[in-house]
Structure 1
Amino acid sequence: MHTLKSVKERFDEVGVTDKFGTKKEIKELPNILADDEIINYATSGFLEGNTWLLVTTNKRVIFLDKGMLFGMKQKEIALNKINSISQKRGLMMGEIHIWDGADKFHITHCKKETIQPFIDATNKAIEELNNGSYIMGSSDKSNLSQIKELKELLDMGAISEDEFNSQKEKLLG
């Protein structure tokens, strides 16, 4: 279960520096994340005329906008639905563009230095999802079968000993 403290610690671990105007969204994030969801990076930007928190995880990209007094707007794109992600950078600010087949999300006023880490984290998560590295989220497999699958990946040389031990420890948790 995620807590505000664990979210903030994870933000520090992955180097999230841009939290401008998103304190309410960050407080809401633990309620939105699945127990097995891992934050890879986050930034903020403008979407639909408001400041939104953008979070990329091992499962999806989440967009959050908590109203001044009440209400929460949430959008998300599953990683396997993302067709393309690109950027446009100016002198101090930039934009992130994400296509999911049907829609294009055009996020403006992002801090320039946070754009590339956000895109890199998202692309890495997509690649790992496509390669089967995030097998922890499989709801139809027991932890034991997941550990067996990890061991096979280790034996094949597809993952390192450290990766195997880390994932096994999480599964045995």
Structure 2
Amino acid sequence: MIYFYERLGGLVSEEMRPDIAAAWDRVGDKMGKKRDIKKLPEYLNAGETVLVMAGGRTGNNNGLLVATSRRALFVSEGLVNHSHEDFPYDRISSVTTTRGMLLAKIVIHTGGASRIIENIGKSEAEAVSAIIRERVEAVTRERSQPQQSAPSPTATPTGIAAELRELAELRDLGVLTPEEFEGQKRKLLDR
């Protein structure tokens, strides 16, 4: 996919992975985030999918809070300083969202530490928080379930069904449009 962005009166074309482009399209305040979005693929692991993202600030760093299929991360690519911070879902104990009149903040609690990401658009904060909470709950459920040595022949195929449920949740949250949902569903069912 090719997307065009206005920059200093000119157009710049950037090729993006479809998952990153879909999440980026929903970011309200893109000001100063071009470096972050360009570097994001370098921070992703093989097979990791971007679900939703939001622009925000932590400490003195402006950047992107990104919820992926495996973790949350904050990417900040400034002119001089470059940083990223990982929040694996199995390490997150809770997520708190506080909304003000115009903006919101998210607090990610990991064990004895907390990270505050503020100056996030309210709707973006809700979307990112919802995905992070859902992923944390899924990891918690997986850990609490007893491990089976071999799958039962009568068990339902959970791979595609789980992915379809995830896509439906993303559509219901407004992360995917109905058209994007249908396209992704077709890809899954055609495997």
Q: Distance in 2 between matches of 1:116 and 1:78?
A: 19
Letter in 2 for 1:37: E
> How do 1:1-173 residues align onto structure 2 when only pairs under 5 Å count?
4-6=15-17, 7-11=19-23, 15-68=26-79, 70-132=80-142, 153-154=155-156, 159=161, 166=188, 169=191
Deviation of the 1:52 alpha carbon: 1.7
Q: Distance in 1 between matches of 2:103 and 2:41?
A: 28
Q: Distance in 1 between matches of 2:162 and 2:190?
A: 12
- Following superposition, which runs of at least 4 residues in structure 1 exceed 4 angstroms of deviation? 160-165
Q: Distance in 2 between matches of 1:152 and 1:58?
A: 28
Gaps of 5+ in 1: 133-147
Percent sequence identity is 21
| Higher fraction of strand | 2
CA shift digits 1:28-85 (9 cap, x unpaired) = 01111112111111001111122121101111111111121x4420111110000010
Q: Distance in 1 between matches of 2:189 and 2:81?
A: 37
Deviation of the 1:161 alpha carbon: 9.7
TM-score normalized with structure 1 length: 0.71
Given that residues 40 and 122 in structure 1 are in contact (C-alpha distance below 8 angstroms), is that contact kept between their aligned partners in structure 2? Answer: no
Task: Give the paired residue count.
Answer: 149
Q: Per the alignment, do residues 110 and 161 of structure 1 end up closer, same or farther by CA in structure 2, a change over 3 Å counting?
A: closer
Q: Distance in 2 between matches of 1:16 and 1:29?
A: 14
